[in-house]
Amino acid sequence: MRPWLPPLLSLLVLALPSAAPAQDDDVTIYRCVSSDGSLTIGNTPCDDDDATQQVRTMLRPQDAPPRPPSAPSTLSEPAPVQVIERHVSTVREPRPMYECITPEGDHYTSDDGEGNPRWVPLWTLGYPGGSYHRPPSGSPPPTARRGVTFVDNRTRMPPPANISIPPAHDRPRPSPDTRPGPGRPVPPRPGHGYDYGYGYGQGGGTWIRDECVRLPQREVCDRLTDRRQTIRRQVFNAQQTERLRLREEERMISARLAEDCGIR
């Protein structure tokens, strides 16, 4: 094969695409390499005659086809609003419990803070003109309804220990005759605070109540729980009538524990 034939065939191959009419969707790229080795790429033939030119046909870049118009979107119906039910519960203040103490030092509880009342003469409270005078000879002995508290009468509580008590020979003795009569006043019924009455001679008396202190709520719950346990132990050995009473008290305590303490 002749040595000059391959270069000629190469030139013919390169010249054929340039002579053919370019398609609308094709683009011709010229690659020019100059004598000094610099490379130039463009869409026009090489200016330098000594440059080596390579011609390449490439597809012309085309824009993407336009998107088809989207169908109108149908508005979906809004989701129904969920109604949240709210339950309002009224929380009331727990019922109080008070601890009261008697003059003898005994303790008991109360729900209203009003201690047990007791009738005492005014002289025990230090009021003037309240001293006791011995009744004249021959007069009937005073009774418990004359407003005098008899220490030796077991049906009434004695005055507190810090109040002086008259000597035994000056203390009136209780009489079995407790019926009211002319000139024989009856102590008034106990109420809130101090209610003054009238007694024998220049005495007089008043109702006073035991001192009570409110317990903390935790202490209230503990005492109610202990009381319920005690009732449940007593029910087994109680008679029918007593058992009904204990059951009723247990139901009341259980309801109070559930409402005020959250204990079932």
* 187 class by beta-carbon count within 10 Å (0-12 exposed, 13-18 middle, 19+ buried): buried
Task: Read off the pLDDT band of 109 (50, 70, 90).
Answer: very high
- Higher local confidence (pLDDT), 12 or 146: 12
- Statement: residue 204 has pLDDT above 70: yes
- Higher local confidence (pLDDT), 83 or 216: 216
pLDDT exceeding 70 applies to what percent of the chain? 59
Write out pLDDT tens, residues 34-61. Answer: 878 788 888 888 877 777 888 888 887 7
pLDDT attached to residue 148: 36
Q: How far apart are CA 235 and CA 6, in angstroms?
A: 126
Signed CA dihedral, 183, 187, 191, 195: sign only: positive
- Statement: residue 182 has pLDDT above 60: no
Task: Read off the pLDDT band of 1 (50, 70, 90).
Answer: very low
Six-digit token string for 148: 């005098």
DSSP assignment of 154-216, as one string? Answer: TTSPPPPTTS----GGGSPPP-S----BTTB--PPPP-SS--B---STT--EEEEE-EEEEPP
- Statement: residue 198 has pLDDT above 70: no
Q: Which residues pair with 57 in a beta bridge?
A: 28
Could you give the count of Cα atoms lying within 13 Å of 142 in the half-sphere of its Cβ?
25
Task: Read off the pLDDT band of 108 (50, 70, 90).
Answer: very high
Name every residue whose Cβ is closer than 8 Å to that of residue 239 and which is 6 or more positions away in sequence.
none
pLDDT attached to residue 235: 92
Name every residue whose Cβ is closer than 8 Å to that of residue 89 and which is 6 or more positions away in sequence.
none
Helices first, then strands: H and E counts in the chain = 3, 8
Mean of pLDDT values over 186-214: 61
